Structure 1
Amino acid sequence: MRARTAILCSVADQGVAALTNILVLVAAARLSTVADFARFSAVYLVFTVLLGVFGAYAGQPLVLTRGEGEAVRSACRSAVAFTVLGSAVLGGTLAAVCLFLPGDTARALTALGPVLPVVLGQDALRYAFSTLRRPHLALGSDLLRLAGVLGALSLQEYGAAPARLIAVWGLSALPALLLSAALLHRSTAKAPTPLRPLLRRGHLGQRFVVEFGVGNATGQLSVLGLGAVGNPLLVGALRGATTLFGPLNVLFTSATSFGPPLLGRIGEERRRIRATALLAAVLAATAALWATVLALLPARVGRELLGDTWPAAAALLPATGSQYAAMAAGTCGLLALRMLDPRTTLSIQVVFSLTAVGFMATGYAVGGVPGAAWGLCLGSLCKAAATWARVARLHRRSRPAAGDAVTADALPSAP
């Protein structure tokens, strides 16, 4: 497959996967009361965190694997097997614990347990197809999943319990999982499936999990915790507002996935940094424009999107739009740092992710749910400023030769 076609298929696949997540939340919001959507959002947030953890541990190291042949095919089989087995153990434990807890949220978590191997296994297969340089297979799998989940949720009635919606959503991914597993088996037949390399000390995924934990999961879990000890509707309101900005997440993911190889073609370091800064400006302007479009939506259209959750989410649009503009600058700043010195990103993720959590909690204490949203915005703004300040310092301190860029070639090959 030509490089241009592969990039288009990969971007389209990310878009379809993001669209699926957006439409799942939109459908759940339209099918649920405000309270039930808050419960569904809390459980879906747990899934999102687990998706990121397994992707960071098994998926991200997999796509950095270089070469062809049996070693790559074996790495793909091992990553998928590890994800399915690990999520099955975790899901079984989650269901066993929550089965004895009261409340609709506990019942929804119980329903999440059995479907975890289905949804996480299907996601792991996407990484495998990318590694095998067959992104069109991942795109086909995600299109099938999108059709399945929309069809299954469209059959549900208003007022369906969160546990039922979780079960229907999870099982709807089963056809895509089975098709992808068959295609992977056909492409990697007779390759061994060792799991020990993924468990050994020093596995690259361990570092990626730490970065994900401090950069993403910390903020999401803090929202969940604040909703548990404060106002439970906070989770639904923030989740509803961020759902509306789903298309920007696709742009951010595409920038971080395809930015390094494309920017690496620019020979001079100064020009690479300028190009990254220009990308940050474009993405920030896009976020501001998208926030403006959402703010101008009539209430009737907003309720068609998010149902009863729309009024609470609409009140957060200025703060969430500002946060996404700051996130655009921060994402591109991290992209520049990975090209200059990838070892510098972890400390920034740790410090400013915790700072954002503190700002969110303080904002909630001062101004309720809108205050929490503005706190998250302030945290993203501080992170972006610190990231670009680090870029400027590194650029002044060290000027590598033209064309010298950090690439995945420096990473270990498949075992």
Structure 2
Amino acid sequence: MRRAVTVAASVLDQAAASLTNIAVLVIAARASSADGFAAFSMVYIVFTVLLGLGAAFVGQSVVLEKGEEHEVGAAVRSAVAFTAVASTAVGVLLVATGAVIDGLAGAAGPGSPTEPSGPTGLGGTTGLAVLALGAVLPIVLVQDGLRYGFSALRLPQRALAADLLRLACVVPALLLQPYGTSPARLVLVWGLSALPAVLLGLALLYPSVRNRRGTPRGYLRRGHLGRRFAVEFAVGSGSSQLAVLGLGLFASPLVVGALRGATTLFGPLNTLFTSVNAFGPPLLGRTGSRRATVRAAAGLAAVLALAALGWAAVLYALPDRVGRQLLGATWESTVALLPATGTQYAVMAAGTCALVTLRVLSPRATLSVQVVFSLLSVALMLVGHALWGAAGAAWGLAAGSALKALAAWARVARTRPEPTAPREEDQRSAAPLS
């Protein structure tokens, strides 16, 4: 019974975190012009990449901690302390970078104070938003890091309480912002609204880490497990997000807003994929034979793919009036991308299930697939954008995801279970697989 409660709390916590991200982007789109949301999206991508790297380097390693309660408590204390120090250092760099961007925009001459400017899409608006992100980065990264600490301590109920408070604070805070609010102000409001959740999380964590001696410097030692997880994130999810950011910097910021708007609408699917990554390996590992494992994974892939296509059809059928209520001015550029993004999520379902299957059969087989086909996806996105603009970029991402899924299932067909039990850290690695 206790195990069932723990699993349910973990799933609900992930759902609350995903719902928060969806709500932030939807409300920001409604409160912004198309250009303003493009600038906000570019900064949010920077945050997403930093969040993913932090989760891979610190979070995914701390959840693998085993031992007595005091040993796990010490590891969690180290993880939170390291996250606080590292995020503060990165935040200082972002503040300096934002100030430089803002200064360059001012030196370039007079222009609109609220719109991105210049051929690269960099301007005073983006610079101030980057500066604002640096100011709140320690708050938002520590808040997310606490979730992994509670997971390691097997206390997901406390993480759920903090994340529900986060959701309850950020939604009204952003809804109070008037239309046309600058991206920098949106970033500040979004980040500062996490402070109550951080304070609650620290208060709930304190009894478990009190009098535990942490060693944050251990994260800098050579051979730290988090480095492998960070590499897998970088070549998997991080590379495509940085490529989208590059389109905004060197081509058109509006493309970033359109792509981010489309992926935001598919947020419920992201929650499902994350749950498959987290709970798929142990469940598939108990199916028995290799054939039963592959059959179960293929069935799950078919269900998720149909769900993605059905959700895409629902979104595409929305009247423009409803779409504009969801995404504001960004809806006009986003709706054209929904067929491509729906196709991408359908093939991502197949790829996610294939890679989870590889985690069970041969845990070390996923990295090569991730490296080759994630970079290929980036290349196809850039080529698609060069030929057909935002729609071409979206179809390029869909094509890359389809090729990754095919390669992953081909690898499954050639793979036989390893003769020895996979290491726990390989099975439980939750780096993004799609």
Q: Separation in 2 of the partners of 1:409 and 1:88?
A: 28
Across the two proteins, how many residue pairs are aligned to each other? 407
The equivalent of 1:79 in structure 2 is 79
Query: In structure 2, do the counterparts of structure 1 residues 245 and 411 end up closer, same or farther at CA, with 3 Å as the change threshold?
Result: closer
Aligned to 1:161: 182
Relative distance call for 1:281 and 1:33 in structure 2 (3 A) is same
Residue by residue over 1:286-322, the C-alpha shift from the partner in whole angstroms, topping out at 9 and shown as x without a partner, is 1011101111111111111100001111100000000
Give the CA deviation at 1:212. 0.2
Q: Is the 8 A contact 1:339 1:405 kept in 2?
A: no
Q: 1:400 Cα deviation (Å)?
A: 5.3
2:326 is aligned to 305
2:47 is matched with 47
* 1:123-151 per-position Cα deviation (integer Å, ceiling 9, x unaligned): 00000111111101010100000011012
Secondary structure of 2:246 counterpart: helix
Residue 70 of structure 1 corresponds to: 70
Read off the aligned partner of 2:8 and give its amino acid letter: L
Deviation sequence 1:142-196 (CA, Å, 0-9, x none): 0000011012112111111000000000000000001101111122211111112
Secondary structure of the 1:315 match is: helix
Shift of 1:68: 3.3
1:232 and 1:196 mapped to 2: Cα distance? 39
1:408 counterpart residue number: 424
Aligned twin of 2:114: none
2:86 partner letter: G
Change (3 A) 1:106 1:122: same
Matched, 1:140 2:161: yes
User: Is the contact made by 1:66 and 1:409 (CA closer than 8 Å) also made in structure 2?
Assistant: no
- Please name the residue that 1:207 is paired with: 228
Q: Distance in 2 between matches of 1:275 and 1:149?
A: 39
SS at match of 1:176: helix
Tell me how far apart the structure 1 counterparts of residues 230 and 86 of structure 2 sit (CA, whole Å). Answer: 15
State yes or no: 1:393 paired with 2:414: yes
Residue 326 of structure 1 deviates from its aligned partner by 0.8
Query: Which sits farther off after the overlay, 61-70 or 369-378?
Result: 61-70
**SS state at 2:67 partner:** coil
1:64 touches 1:411 (CA, 8 Å); kept in 2? no
1:217 aligns with 2:233: no
Aligned equivalent of 1:250: 271
Q: Which residue of 2 aligns with 1:12?
A: 12
Supply the RMSD in Å over aligned alpha carbons: 1.4
| DSSP 3-state at the match of 1:157 | coil
Alignment partner, residue 280 of structure 1: 301
Q: Deviations over 1:320-369 (max 9, x none)?
A: 00000111111111101111111111111111011001111111111111
2:170 maps to 1:149? yes
Aligned: 1:106 with 2:122? no
TM-score (norm 1): 0.96
The CA deviation string for residues 215-241 of structure 1, in whole angstroms up to 9 with x for no partner, is 011000101101221121000000000
Q: Give distance in 2, aligned partners of 1:409 and 1:226.
A: 35
Runs of 5+ in structure 1 lacking a partner?
none
Shift of 1:410: 7.4
Report how far residue 406 of structure 1 moved. 2.9
| Contact 2:363/2:427, CA 8 A, preserved across alignment | no
| 3-state SS, counterpart of residue 158 of structure 1 | coil
Q: 1:331 and 2:327 equivalent?
A: no
How big is each residue's C-alpha offset from its partner over 1:58-96, in whole Å with a ceiling of 9 and x where there is no partner? 001111222332111111111111111100011012102
Residue 141 of structure 2, aligned match among 109, 114, 120? 120
1:101 aligned partner, one-letter code: I
Q: Which residue of 2 aligns with 1:170?
A: 191
Percent identity (aligned): 58
Matched-pair contact (CA < 8 Å) for 1:24–1:150 = yes
Q: Can you list the C-alpha shifts for 1:77-117, whole angstroms capped at 9, x where unaligned?
A: 11111111100011012102321322110100000001111
1:406 partner SS: coil
Task: Tell me what 1:229 maps to.
Answer: 250
Matched with 1:369 is 390
2-structure distance, mates of 1:312, 1:410: 40
